[in-house]
Amino acid sequence: MNVAGLFFGLFVAVLGYMTAWFVIARLTDRADVVDTAWGLGFVYVAWLTWLMVGKPGGVPLVGVLFVTVWGLRLAAHIFTRNHAKSEDHRYMAYRKKWGSDFWLNTYIRIFLLQGVLLLSISSTAVASINTKQPGSFVTVIGLVVWMAGIVYEAVADYQLRQFVKTKKPGEIMQAGLWRYSRHPNYFGEITSWWGAAIVGLSYAQWWALFGAGVITLLITKVSGVPLLERHYADNSQFQEYKKHTSILIPLPRR
């Protein structure tokens, strides 16, 4: 399918998707529903792409299934973490900052912006779905890396969830995958998207690099690792942990 036409259709669909979630946010008076919408949005884009390009089998269908597993797990992880609690502290801070313009700013600066980022990152998965050609050895490598990243992120999140249930105040997770990296879940996420990029590149769709690059930049420089590192800046146990543990790529402890 023509790439420009495909992305225009996806853009309109994502705009409607994020607007629908904004309506849910207003009805529930919880802006943090956007966090659950994030993972589900990738699933939505993947299946919509698959339908728009003619329901191809083989590698494209595997790509759709990989995105579905990743997105549903992430959405479930965030929803079960947040639903029984009050609204996430980030959005409560925005309520104070934006005052009477909170919902207008929320729609434009959170929901619509996340929609743009969602579609940008999804472009990597779209590249692996928008084809009817048979795969190659490079395609297989990409699928293996993609799957490995999904599993690695899921295991890291599970280990952290179990730790949080019994942690003491100020205690830092340092076991399992967290022994070798301070942010193994983010490493898994980045790995999965670069695996998807390899799949797209195996079909000579060079724009597959775009989404993987965007998610890598966001996690390492903007909203992922930097925010958490600043959050624990005053935690003495984390600072000691930091001296011996790689920030992202899993490595033996120093």
What is the tens place of the pLDDT at every residue in 207-242? 999 999 999 999 999 988 998 899 888 888 889 999
Amino acid symbol at 55? K
Average of per-residue pLDDT across 72-86? 87
Q: So what's the pLDDT on residue 223? A: 86
Average of per-residue pLDDT across 60-74? 96
Q: What six digits make up the tokens of 204? A: 């000579």
Whole-model pTM: value is: 0.92
- Considering just the CA atoms, what is the radius of gyration of the chain in Å? 19
User: Is the confidence at residue 83, as pLDDT, over 90?
Assistant: no
Average of per-residue pLDDT across 40-60? 95
Burial of 168 (0-12, 13-18, 19+ CB in 10 A): exposed
User: Is the confidence at residue 151, as pLDDT, over 70?
Assistant: yes
Number of C-beta neighbours around residue 61 at 10 A: 13
Q: So what's the pLDDT on residue 86? A: 84
Which one, of 141, 157, 130, lies nearest residue 45 by Cα?
130
Q: How confident is residue 71, by pLDDT bands cut at 50, 70 and 90?
A: very high
Q: So what's the pLDDT on residue 81? A: 82
Average of per-residue pLDDT across 131-155? 95
* pLDDT tens digits, 88-103: 888 899 999 999 999 9
**196 torsion bin: left (phi>0), alpha (psi -120 to 50), beta (else):** alpha
Whether the CB-CB separation of 82 and 32 falls below 8 Å is answered with: yes
User: Is the confidence at residue 1, as pLDDT, over 70?
Assistant: no
CA 8 to centroid of chain Cα atoms: 22
Q: How far apart are CA 215 and CA 194, in angstroms?
A: 10
Q: So what's the pLDDT on residue 45? A: 97
Q: How far apart are CA 39 and CA 77, in angstroms?
A: 10
Q: So what's the pLDDT on residue 178? A: 95
Which one, of 135, 107, 96, 108, lies nearest residue 24 by Cα?
107
Amino acid symbol at 112? L
Between CA 24 and CA 31, with CA 26 as vertex, the angle to 5 degrees is: 85
Cα distances (Å, whole numbers) of residue 18 to 22, 52, 85, 125, 231: 6, 20, 23, 19, 28
Q: So what's the pLDDT on residue 135? A: 86
Whether the CB-CB separation of 82 and 111 falls below 8 Å is answered with: no
Whether the CB-CB separation of 164 and 237 falls below 8 Å is answered with: no
User: Is the confidence at residue 7, as pLDDT, over 90?
Assistant: yes
* pLDDT tens digits, 155-171: 999 999 999 888 888 78
Burial of 86 (0-12, 13-18, 19+ CB in 10 A): exposed
Whether the CB-CB separation of 202 and 139 falls below 8 Å is answered with: yes
